[in-house]
Amino acid sequence: MSFPIRPFHRPRPRDVLHCDGAPLPKLAKRWGTPLYVYSADAIVERFGLFDNALAGLPHLVCYAVKANSSLAILKLLSRCGAGFDIVSGGELERVLAADKRAAGRVVFSGVGKTAPEIDLALRAGIRVFNVESEGELELLSERAGKRGVVAPFALRVNPDVFADTHPYISTGLREHKFGIAIEGAPALYRRARQGRRAAKRLRAVGVSVHIGSQIRDPAPFGAAATRVAALVRALRADGEPTLRSIDLGGGLGIEYEGAPWDPQERVAAYAAAVRAGLGGLDGVELLLEPGRFLVAEAGALLTEVLYTKQNGTKRFVITDAGMNDLIRPALYSAHHGIEPVAPGRKQKETVDVVGTVCESGDFFARDRQLPRVEPGDLLAILDAGAYGASLSSTYNTRPRVAEVLVEGAKARLVRRRDRVRDLLAPERV
């Protein structure tokens, strides 16, 4: 396998766009549009980059399920030996549905775990709870006591490390809702260890941190690793001999706007920063939680042009997809590359690519220069494998779209398209 895979490509300049060996028009004809298309080979390759870069350092790559929770993708990654980072009981159910044996590789993150979710995770025997508050630690102790088990936990500490990213996905500063202040961690670990009841119900196994998402500079990861490694040394000196893991979270970013970059080089730089930050700390396993980096570029949203229209000076390309299918442009003003599936016409024009949802914010691109397209043409909205289908909704009573996984030249349906009756089924008149 060559590095890096470019899953959406034209085998020859005048070919239609393919996902690996599968022509996209063939997929659209078989399963309709809008349609999410994923490359299995690209996902496996990205997972392997972390394993290669961290060779010789004990580690477990725990895929962030929230990025794309497709059962087929979870099963694919489980076969690679991945762990899983979850943030809800529903995501745990998904992991168990994909592979029951993966429970021991599950890390439960999230700021608002409920008692039923904690009970479910205790029954399943997950690897560790990343605890984000004193109240959560007390609830975990209580639920473990009711089950007569010892709950493994790590405190998620807030290292107050700035990462240059969108404010909605930055999580490592004092003003954010996530984690606890790093300076308050020793007292809370001590309380869990020395409390008469808590000591029988809780076992501190590590320390956790997550500073944000879509971070492309390795320096903040190194700074976070340095602070967490110092905390682990201090905790061990204070009597925490069972600390055996450091969870550095996820957040490694990609390039959405087409700038040349090398995923292999980025992972290597990230790994080097982390190794330097750990400073030779021994006796720990490194846990990582990449999500977007593994799946974003492996996916595209395939959509058909319904109409084109001119309103004053603005030209619109109206597609059969909508913000309910891919909300990132509306939510974050996120950039996604858009490419005609057929070889591009020579004439280019500046357009807004928009969807069918009854909202002015329903757009995929504004003032984007594209080859001229006509009704019936197919467009591929690229880099949509992360936070695409997982953030989709049924707004405007629009059924969620089908999803296809391509393995080599073969494609298979991994989620059928919703029917309106599926949407109406839970309701009562």
Encode 376-389: b = buried (16+ Cβ within 10 Å), e = exposed: ebbbbbbbbbbbbb
- Across the range 102-109, mean pLDDT stands at 98
Q: Chain-wide mean pLDDT for the chain?
A: 93
pLDDT for residue 174 is more than 80: no
- Across the range 327-332, mean pLDDT stands at 95
Least confident of 78-87, 194-203, 225-234, 240-249: 194-203
- Across the range 108-116, mean pLDDT stands at 96
pLDDT at 177: 56
* Rounded distance between C-alpha atoms, residue 416 and residue 429, angstroms: 27
pLDDT at 163: 57
* Rounded distance between C-alpha atoms, residue 206 and residue 243, angstroms: 5
Q: Write the DSSP assignment of 52-66 as a string of letters.
A: HHTTTS-EEEEEEGG
- Contact indicator for 117, 169 with CB cutoff of 8 Å: no
Per-residue pLDDT of 8-33, as tens digits, reads 999 999 999 999 999 999 999 999 99
CATH 2.40.37.10 is the classification of domain 8-38+297-424: yes
Q: Where in the chain is the domain with CATH 3.20.20.10?
A: 109-290
pLDDT at 258: 75
pLDDT at 159: 86
Per-residue pLDDT of 63-94, as tens digits, reads 999 999 999 999 999 999 999 999 999 999 99
- SS3 of residue 409 by DSSP: coil
* Rounded distance between C-alpha atoms, residue 327 and residue 376, angstroms: 23
Beta pairing partners, 351: 368
Which tops the pLDDT comparison, 226 or 167? 226
Residue listed under structure tokens 């030209």 = 315
Task: Specify the CATH architecture of the domain 109-290.
Answer: Alpha-Beta Barrel (3.20)
pLDDT at 4: 59
Beta pairing partners, 402: 35
Q: Is 80 designated active site?
A: no
Q: Single out the catalytic residue among 19, 62, 80, 358.
A: 358
Residue 292 has φ and ψ, to the nearest 5°, of -50, -45
Kindly indicate the confidence band of residue 173, based on its pLDDT and cuts at 50, 70 and 90. Answer: very low
- Across the range 157-184, mean pLDDT stands at 64
Cβ neighbours for 420, distance < 8 A, ≥ 6 positions apart: 397, 399
What would you report as the CA-atom Rg of the chain, rounded to the nearest whole angstrom? Answer: 23
Beta pairing partners, 360: none
Q: Write the DSSP assignment of 290-315 as a string of letters.
A: --HHHHGGGEEEEEEEEEEEEETTEE
Kindly indicate the confidence band of residue 344, based on its pLDDT and cuts at 50, 70 and 90. Answer: confident
Q: Write the DSSP assignment of 158-190 as a string of letters.
A: E------S-GGGB--STTSSSSEEGGGHHHHHH
Q: Where in the chain is the domain with CATH 2.40.37.10?
A: 8-38+297-424
